[in-house]
């Protein structure tokens, strides 16, 4: 014998799930339309400070970050066996960097 007593409750649950899904899609469409319409009307204005920072950033990106003279000096010292590593200085710099990153 088959139990068919829950057919109506299952149908109402299915109908409820379907209407929730449709409602969610409609809300997503409305949110997307609102975002599109507000984006069309928005404007961005940079302050003088922001404009200066943008110019400085562009100048820095065009500049070389490698000091060729210093590289040649270190290469020469390594080749001649004159390059000394100051372990205490390196440890101090690493600790200072760690403190900076934790703030």
Q: What are phi and psi of 79, to 5 degrees?
A: -60, -40
Q: What is the DSSP letter of 45?
A: -
Q: How many CB atoms lie within 10 A of CB 94?
A: 10
Residues 6+ apart with CB under 8 A from 46: 54
**Per-residue confidence (pLDDT) for residue 25, from 0 to 100:** 60
SS3 73: helix
How many Å apart are CA 61 and CA 57, to the nearest integer? 6
How many Å apart are CA 45 and CA 103, to the nearest integer? 31
- Kindly report whether the global pTM for this prediction surpasses the value 0.85: no
Dump pLDDT digits (tens) for 58-96. 888 888 778 889 999 999 999 999 999 999 999 999 999
Contact assessment for residue 92 and residue 86, using Cβ atoms and an 8 Å cutoff: no
pLDDT at 101 over 60: yes
């Amino acid at each position: 014998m088959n139990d068919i007593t829950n057919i109506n409750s299952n149908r109402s649950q299915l109908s409820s799930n379907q209407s929730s899904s449709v409602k969610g899609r409609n809300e997503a469409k409305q949110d997307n339309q609102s975002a599109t319409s507000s984006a069309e009307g928005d404007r961005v204005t940079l302050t003088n400070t922001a404009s200066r920072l943008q110019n400085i950033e562009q100048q820095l990106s065009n500049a070389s970050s490698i000091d060729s003279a210093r590289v040649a000096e270190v290469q020469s010292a390594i080749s001649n066996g004159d390059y000394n590593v100051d372990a205490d200085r390196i440890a101090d710099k690493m600790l200072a960097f760690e403190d900076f990153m934790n703030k």
